[in-house]
Amino acid sequence: MMPKDPAAEIKPATTLELCAMFGPYARVLPPLFDYTAAKTFVGPASILKVSGGRERLNLALLKHCADHVVIIDGRHLAPFGIVGPTEVASAVTGKCRALLVFGSVFDVGKLAKEKILPVHALDNGPHVLRDEGGKVEAAYLDCAAGLITHDFYITGDADGIVAVRQEQMQAHFPVR
């Protein structure tokens, strides 16, 4: 009989538990539409700002965001969609935990079939940022929840998405 992996038994904190524990220090992110069948996620934040095209975004998702909840800031690109099935496939292969798109997604019919990776976004539409080129920069997210940086741990479930500083989170809840 195989010994049990203790990490596999860790139950992540829910957004309700985080808000009860941390009060105003649990930053509730603005509502994002849920575009996939996958529902819950937890992990440290990686925040990317995209411009010009999606090629570099796909590369970053494949190689640099493993085990992170990736926040993509593309609000400045509206109404162009920056995440679609190709980006989701890159994120799944790159072992990302979720994609939170502050901008638009596209091809939502295909995104709705995704069962592994949660994808949440501000909007969707038929305009698509070009495939080739582009630029991706590490960034911070300034939103209604305040300033969110790479120092935050992100938890999402049916009640919403909450960001808590990693050191606070680790002091009270197990993290994976």
Tell me the pLDDT tens digit for each residue of 34-52. 999 998 999 999 999 999 9
pLDDT of residue 16: 96
DSSP H/E element including 20: helix 15-22
| Cβ atoms < 10 Å from Cβ of 115 | 10
Say if residues 153 and 44 touch (Cβ distance below 8 Å): yes
Residues pairing with 154 in the sheet: 43, 163
For 17-25, the CB contacts below 8 A with 24+ separation are 17/173, 18/155, 18/162, 18/164, 18/169, 18/173, 19/162, 21/172, 21/173, 22/164, 22/168, 25/164, 25/165, 25/168
Alpha helices by DSSP H, 28-157: 55-63, 85-93, 108-111
Tokens of 176: 């994976």
pLDDT of residue 28: 97
Residues pairing with 128 in the sheet: 81
Tell me the pLDDT tens digit for each residue of 20-33. 999 999 999 999 99
CA-nearest of 27, 15, 117 to 66 is: 117
What is the separation, in whole angstroms, between the first and last Cα of the chain? Answer: 25
Average pLDDT over residues 130-139: 95
Does residue 135 surpass a pLDDT of 90? Answer: yes
Tell me the pLDDT tens digit for each residue of 47-71. 999 999 999 999 999 999 999 999 9
